Amino acid sequence: MRSDPRSRHRQTVLGAAATTFLLLLAGCAPAAPPPGSGTTADLGAYLEQELNWVGCKDTATSKADAELFANPALQCASVEVPLDYDKPEGKKAHIALTRLPAAGDAEGSLLLNPGGPGGSGTSFVASTLPQWQVSPVAERFDIVGFDPRGVRSSTPALDCYTDEEYDAGDATRFGAVHDIPSTKEATELAERCADGSGGIANLVNAGSTNVVRDMDIMRQVLGDDQLTYLGYSYGSELGAMYAAAYPEKVRAIVLDGAVSPDLTASEFRLSSFTGLQARFDDLAALCAESPDCVLGPDPAAANDRLHEIVQPLVETPAPTTGGRDLSVWDVYLGISGGLYSEAKWPNVISALTALQAGNADQMLALRDAFYARTADGAYGHDFDTNIAVRCMDSPRPTPEEQTALARKIGEAAPMFDIDVFTAGTHHSECEAWPAPPTRDEPWLTDIEGIPETLVVSVTGDPATPHEGGIAMARALGGSLLTVDGKQHGAYLLGGSKCVDDAVNKYLLDLETPPTDARCSL
């Protein structure tokens, strides 16, 4: 239930004391508040904030965003949080919020994160506004998206490369692993990220541990005694971490496209590429149903055929009508993004067909969609913040481990040209990062006393395989909704009334689906 703002501070102080006591009993101290988060008194000024909700016209960071946020139904605000929770009196970060106010009397807020790291919750609310406006959840709850620290409209901004450098292909390239061939390149990446982000302190406070702490401040400032949350993909990590750290502050948590808490970062990367290969195999079979399939009539030979198509771009990127060049790395990013949803597979086939005929424009469009690049050259998915968060989240592999991982990925996902993507020695992009990671592996531990949660997992998810959803539900002791289909994420995204109804019932009335419940896309 939503608290009376006038009594919010008193309830916050009492609630924090109860939190510490309960977690001491569970053997989890000092997990919530997480290590270094300071005392309630230290955070008092942050918890007493009053949000100033205004129109969103000044929130946009691109022309496309300006149109997206122009809808008068949306409101925007900013929440102050400590940049460094060990120094709450020091510099502040500002977390951007966008909300669709409840159509009826608001019973609370639904806080959501669309994934990443680097995804924008504010843009997600704006872009899915039509779905929310007809949703029964938005009748009773404010729908609130947030940009985690470093992302989009939140500050400080984290930047390693400019949009122009991404356009030119001058950013670090991402294949099986990031293309970091030596310690020198790893050091240069860390230095340019620190310089572009306004200093080391901004860079090293970007990890998920701090984002979870920010979420608890958001919850209290929004006036909610308990958190109601929806997280997709990486957002499932945030939701699970919050539940483990603050179990008594959880009302309802939906994790869609859940990341497996049982896998290390390297194991998870390998599982994702294995999932992409499975979906490419499906795409090749679909293509082979056409007599003029660009990948040929035999799906088993589609990997080799793809290598033939992209091989000319290894040395010479293909020009496009807009003046930009398409590299082999861009092709694989475009294909990978297209594999995220079965509905987009015809677009991938069409782009490959055009590329084979000498027209690179369609494939560049798929590559730009992967980055959420707008027509005016702004990048909507923040891959610089993605690097920063992952570097602060996970232990750093040695060059030997990273090189071995690249080879394993090449073997598990032969659609990727192994000579292009796995040749040579590979260093971790985080090797020279200026601070150690703030999470261990496994990253989800000491789970006790969590209310019923709901995991939504698609059987053919190419990015977060279904096995991970099963593992997440098991780890949280929660419910699992299995969804038959081939795409990344399901709720509000797949047009499945079965999925939407099940999630709505849980969010509204805390009723979880029966054991072994299934839907389809």
Q: Which residues are catalytic?
A: 233, 461, 488
Residues 6+ apart with CB under 8 A from 366: 333, 334, 335, 337, 338, 347, 348, 351
d(CA 121, CA 153): 10
> Which structure tokens are listed for 215?
């979420």
> Which structure tokens are listed for 363?
């494939």
The per-residue DSSP string of 457-468 comes to EETT-SSS-HHH
d(CA 167, CA 289): 35
Asked whether the CA dihedral 82, 83, 88, 90 is positive or negative, the reply is negative
Residues 6+ apart with CB under 8 A from 458: 257, 466, 469, 483, 484, 485, 486, 487, 488, 489, 490, 494, 521
Nearest-CA neighbor of 96 among 23, 154, 166? 154
The per-residue DSSP string of 233-287 comes to THHHHHHHHHHHH-GGGEEEEEEESPPPTTS-HHHHHHHHHHHHHHHHHHHHHHH
Nearest-CA neighbor of 217 among 310, 366, 88, 358? 88
Q: Cβ distance 13 to 39 under 8 Å? A: no
Q: Cβ distance 334 to 363 under 8 Å? A: yes
For 114, 420, 459, the CA distances from 488, given in Å and listed in that order, are 11, 26, 10
Specify the pairing of strand 108-113 against strand 75-82. Answer: unpaired
> Which structure tokens are listed for 290?
């056409």
Nearest-CA neighbor of 456 among 443, 477, 470? 470
d(CA 500, CA 504): 6
Q: Cβ distance 218 to 97 under 8 Å? A: yes
Helices (H) and strands (E) in the chain, counts: 21, 11
Specify the pairing of strand 141-147 against strand 108-113. Answer: parallel
Cis-peptide into 30, omega within 30 deg = yes
> Which structure tokens are listed for 165?
């450098």
Residue for token pair 């424009």: 361
d(CA 468, CA 310): 32
